Every structure is written in structure tokens, then in C-alpha cells.
Amino acid sequence: SWTMPNYIDEAVAKIRQQVGSDEVILGLSGGVDSSVAAALIHRAIGNQLTCVFVDHGLLRYKEAEMVMDMFARNLGVNVIHVDASGEFMRKLAGVTDPEQKRKIIGAEFVEVFQQEAGKRQNARWLAQGTIYPDVIESAGAKTNKAHAIKSHHNVGGLPETLNLSLLEPLRDLFKDEVRQLGVALGLPREMVYRHPFPGPGLGVRILGEVKREYADLLRRADHIFIEELRNTVDAEGVSWYDNTSQAFAVFLPVKSVGVMGDGRTYEYVVALRAVVTSDFMTAHWAELPYSLLGRVSNRIINEVRGINRVVYDVSGKPPATIEWE
Ligand code: XMP
């Protein structure tokens, strides 16, 4: 009968058979799919796997450290950590159009990944965390209108010039199965059940021009929001993080007035967004407790110098989208 340990044994055997003694490279994003793929492939072939983790400077709070701790230090996976944030920031300077920002981030990502992958002369395989819904989605992409609206640029974007064969060990799995597999492989539950995070990261959560200063403020505000969501439970004892499908902060590059002592301050605004959805095509704004919202607001304003106003987004999708850009 079907059990997770059997499944892992079979998947491991299949990967070993497929790649033999070849080297494999994988783009690790910190997301669930690429993380589970990395853990599974590492279980199968150990040191024959090298992961490339590209930090575009638009990741969540301490995300790079988290990825390096989990994979390099705890699991002993080879991970090349590329801090490309300077290059991404230069390319994004002066760019305000959301689709343009997505294109730049996506293209630069492929560029940096290719550069690193190109150094691995012996690599024969490119591993990806493609899951079953991705397979379906790309088959239907031409007719899928929602898809055409935004260029959903994920870490994928196969660098064809690398001339590598594709290794996609999660191709038959649904998201929930990928999560179960991740837990069975020893990845931390909080990581495996994380909310989705867009490929362009904070790049589409900073409205208009992306600046490092904005990203730093946003990261800290977002982290406070997520921390409070994780630490606050509802009447059934379920955390508000687990009660919501996606939650994050958005940086608004406008300054509004505040008071501090006898003086006025003019500082930035942060919007909080939390939604409940089953398919991300439609979504309700989450009815978070006022006390929770109040705590998040106080903490952000007190702890993040440069932000003096916090608002909560009460728009449904449609007509509003989940992201602000
Ligand atoms: P929207 O904003 O379209 O978002 O309601 C629906 C879901 O898609 C995610 N999203 C993206 N994911 N690259 C991604 O990888 C993108 O450019 C992108 N834009 C939106 C969003 O976070 C939500 O889960």
C-alpha cells in the first residue's frame, strides 16, 4: 500500500537511476517546492547536487540566513549563496512600471543563475521543483486569461543555453503531497507550510521605484506582522498565520504627517494585507482581530523608524488583486 516512506524510497531510486553519477544543479528559492526538491534529491545523490541560491535583495527578513542554515548547515547540502542584490538594485533604479520590474527581476535572475551554473562544468542536469499543478497550468497557459494578465515569473525560466536535462522529481505531486513529503524528509513544519511568496519578492510590494532603503523598512515591518500572526491564536487555538492563506506588508512610498513630542514627522506608510482563499483566483480579506492589528501597528510604528502610519487593506479579489502591483 502507499506510504510516505515507500514513496521516498521509490523516488530516491528513480533519481539515482536517472542521473547515475552525474552532477545536478538546482535553483533554490527558499520556497516550498524548490526546498522539497532539494531535500529529496540530496537524499538520493548527496554531494552530486549543488544548489544555487540567488539573493536579489528582495527577500523576506533573514531569509538568506534561514536558507543557508537549513540546507547548508543542517542538511549538509552544497549551496552556493550569490548575493546579487547590488546588481538587481542597479537594474531596477528609476523603474516604476510593475510589469517592467517583473521582467527585469526575472531576466536578471536567469542571468545570475546561468553565470553560476556555467561554472559547474560537469553539471548534466537542471533540477526544478515543478509540481503537478504547474504542469497543468503551463499546458493551459495559452488559453488561461488570468495568466496572461501578469507575467508570473517564477524561478523556473529554464536557461536553455545551458544544455542541461531536466530533473523534476515532484512532477506528479499536488501541493499538499509536496508538503507532506517535505515534513517526511525532515524539513521544519513552519517552512513547509509557509505562505506563498512571489518570485519578484518585495519588488512588487514596494509600489513604484524599488530602493534598498524601502526594502529594508518593508522587510522589518513585514516580519513584525508575520511574527504576530504566528504568535496569536483564535478560539480554536489555531494561529492567525495558519488561518490565513497569504499575509504580508506593502510599502507605500508616500509620506504622511505624524506627531512626535512637540514636532511633526513626515514618514512612510505601510499597508497590511491578509487574505483567505482556496485557489488564489478569488480571495476574501481576513477578519483579523482588532487587538492583533493594533499590536502589529504599534510595534511597526515603534520599532521601524521611518514608518509612522499603518493601514489594513479590506479589499476582496476581485476586483482588487492580492498583491498591490
Ligand atoms: P494576485 O496579485 O494576482 O496574486 O491576486 C495571486 C497569487 O499570485 C502571486 N503572484 C505572483 N507570484 N510572481 C509570482 O511568482 C509574480 O509576479 C506574482 N504576482 C502575483 C501572489 O503572491 C498570489 O499568491
Atom of ligand 1 at shortest distance to CA of 196?
24
Backbone angles phi, psi at 267, to 5 degrees: -135, 170
**Fold (topology level) of 4-192:** Rossmann fold (3.40.50)
**Residues within a 6 A CB radius of ligand 1:** 102, 150, 152-154, 196, 198-200, 204, 246, 280, 317, 321-323
Residue 206 falls in which region: left (phi positive, over 0), alpha (psi -120 to 50) or beta: beta
Residue 35 marked ligand-binding: yes
Omega within 30 of 0 (cis) for the link into 188: no
Q: CA-CA distance, 113 to 87, in Å (whole number)?
A: 13
Cα of 2 vs centre of ligand 1, distance in Å, is: 34
Cα of 223 vs centre of ligand 1, distance in Å, is: 19
Sorted by where each begins, the domain ranges of the chain are 4-192, 205-312
Q: Tell me which residue has its CA closest to atom 10 in ligand 1.
A: 198
Instruction: For residue range 89-128, list pLDDT tens digits in order.
Output: 999 999 999 999 999 999 999 999 999 999 999 999 999 9
Cα of 204 vs centre of ligand 1, distance in Å, is: 9
The domain made up of 205-312 is a member of CATH 3.30.420.40: no
pLDDT, position 158: 55
Residue spans of alpha helices (H) in 84-211: 85-92, 98-119, 132-139, 145-149, 175-184, 189-192
CA 68-87-36 angle, 5° bins: 30
Does residue 105 contact residue 72 with C-beta atoms inside 8 Å?
Answer: no
Atom of ligand 1 at shortest distance to CA of 323?
2
The residues, any chain, with a CB within 8 Å of residue 148's CB and separated by 6 or more, are: none
Which residue is associated with the grid cell 485557489? 279
Q: CA-CA distance, 298 to 302, in Å (whole number)?
A: 6
Atom of ligand 1 at shortest distance to CA of 149?
3
Atom of ligand 1 at shortest distance to CA of 102?
17
Omega within 30 of 0 (cis) for the link into 98: no
The verdict on ipTM greater than 0.95 is yes
Q: Mean pLDDT score of the chain, rounded to an integer? A: 93
Helices and strands, number each (H, E), in the chain = 12, 9
Residue 297 marked ligand-binding: no
pLDDT, position 159: 55
E strand or H helix that includes residue 26 = strand 23-28
Residue 310 marked ligand-binding: no
Residue 29 marked ligand-binding: yes
The residues, any chain, with a CB within 8 Å of residue 224's CB and separated by 6 or more, are: 296, 299, 300, 303, 304
Beta bridge partners of 126: 25, 166
Residues with pLDDT less than 70, the chain: 140-161
pLDDT, position 1: 73
